[in-house]
Amino acid sequence: MLPNDPTPLARREVRELQRYNAGLSSEQVAKRFGVSQIAKLGSNENPYGPSPQVGAAISSAMADSGLYPDAACSLLRDALSARLGVTPEQMVFGNGSEDLIAILCRVFLDHGDKLVTITPAFGLHTLYPHSLGAQVHAVPMLADGGFDIEGLIDALAVPPRMLMFSSPSNPVGSALSASQLEQILSALTPATLLVFDEAYYEYALASPGYPDVLTQLAEQQTPWIVLRTFSKAYALAGLRVGYGVVSSAALADLIDRLRTPFNVNRLAQVAALAALQDEAHLQAGLAATIRERERLNQALTEMGINVVPSLTNFLFFETDQPSAQLHETLLAYGVIVKPWLEPEYTCWTRVSIGSPDENDQFLAALSRSLRPPMIP
Ligand SMILES: *Cc1c(COP(=O)(O)O)cnc(C)c1O
């Protein structure tokens, strides 16, 4: 042991933890590969940016930056609860919804507790549970990209402390139907907290048959939280605002005990409120993304690639080569995607739906990367 090495002092779970793969920045790729035009399609960011009203709201709030933010996010709380038809006491806020995921894990998961999720999964749905020494039971998605309802219900037979997954799923892009959700809700007992991560809610809403999750949950007699975010459809990923709707004020109170008191900063609060009020900007971005998603889906299918139909702002597709290798090849063309690294999914890649130009750059780079080597 080096005299100054703190590693042995860390908790065992932390020493064994795999880091979250946050991907490369445009600057890093530009520098490493000497390319100037970067298509950053690895983090499901919104290429159209936030409402112009966000800039105005932030500018006028700047003068008060010396003051702590409203710890209760009151204005945002009132606006969102009215819009969603829930009580203000049913809302919780986070420094991004990932903050809420971390808090929920710290509140509910003790060493040895069981968490049920799906695989492939959003990395933080397993990273935080692992960091606390929880046992992660991941139910694989079906070959067609659907949720394995029977598998999930079997996994609930001995009630886990928490059931956490995203629907629409990141990275797969598929979602539970109303009847599938009903089946899962019927299998839950009060011993399990359901964490329903609906980060792509606004995109999915445009798809026919997408369930009204909050309405279905309103009847549920076991504890639940629905997580949403301003990072994706509202294009505020850089400002970090997420929220949850909870089954009872008691759950909000437990979350409040372990959050940092000022976890949503002043500028983020006014930005989210302004973004929420610009419905036209939101709808224009959603429509453009959905149009491009379908164009990309068709192009990939025509290239003979297995791609899962998506309700989100990304597509999940399978290639013959390991996605880590494809990712490296695409980087040389200035295209950043997310290679999936979970076992069983290492030939799968997630690509975010960018602007039309970025998507063209991705398609051109992909077809060059997949072209079989020339026979000399
Ligand atoms: C992007 C994403 C989040 C995180 O959103 P933030 O609000 O930016 O923290 C949470 N869950 C899923 C499934 C996501 O894809």
Looking at residue 310, its pLDDT comes to: 98
Nearest CA to ligand 1 atom 14: 199
pLDDT of res. 375: 62
Average pLDDT, the chain: 96
Sheet (strand 338-339) strand order: 306-307, 314-318, 348-352, 338-339
Q: How far is the CA of 98 from the centre of ligand 1 (A)?
A: 6
Indicate the SS3 state at residue 106. Answer: helix
Q: Quick one: pLDDT at residue 21?
A: 76
Confidence of residue 3 (pLDDT cuts 50, 70, 90): confident
Residue 360 Cα to ligand 1 middle (Å): 26
The architecture (CATH level 2) of 7-49+280-370 comes to Alpha-Beta Complex (3.90)
Q: Is 298 left (phi over 0), alpha (psi -120 to 50) or beta?
A: alpha
**How high is the pLDDT of residue 180?**
98
294, pLDDT greater than 90? yes
Pocket probe mutation, ligand 1, options 97, 99, 127, 197, max atoms within 8 Å of Cβ: 97
Quick one: angle between helices 266-277 and 74-84, nearest 10?
30
Confidence label for 19 from pLDDT (cuts 50, 70 and 90): confident
334: confidence class by pLDDT, cuts 50, 70, 90: very high
Distant-in-sequence, close-in-space partners of 267: CB < 8 Å, separation ≥ 6: 58, 61, 62, 65, 239
Nearest CA to ligand 1 atom 2: 199
> What are the pLDDT digits (tens) for 231-276?
999 999 999 999 999 999 999 999 999 999 999 999 999 999 999 9
Residues 135-189 have pLDDT tens digits of: 999 999 999 999 999 999 999 999 999 999 999 999 999 999 999 999 999 999 9
CATH no. for 52-277:
3.40.640.10
44-85 tens-digit pLDDT: 999 999 999 999 999 999 999 999 999 999 999 999 999 999
pLDDT band at 376 (very low <50, low <70, confident <90, very high): low
pLDDT at 357 over 60: yes
Distance CA 26, CA 177 (A): 37
- pTM assigned to the model: 0.96
**Closest Cα to atom 11, ligand 1: which residue?**
199
Residue to mutate (ligand 1; options 197, 227, 259, 312; most atoms within 8 A of CB): 197
Which residues, listed in sequence order, are joined to residue 139 by a DSSP beta bridge? Answer: 118
Span 267-295, mean pLDDT? 98
Closest residue by CA, ligand 1 atom 1 = 199
- Taking the CA of residue 166 as reference, the ligand 1 atom at the shortest distance is 13
Rounded (10°) CA dihedral 334, 338, 342, 344: -80
Query: What residues line ligand 1, using a CB cutoff of 6 Å?
Result: 44, 96-98, 122, 166, 170, 197, 199, 229, 231-232, 237, 242
What are the residue ranges spanned by the domains of the chain?
Answer: 7-49+280-370, 52-277
Angstrom distance (rounded) from CA 148 to CA 259: 33
pLDDT above 90 for 367:
yes
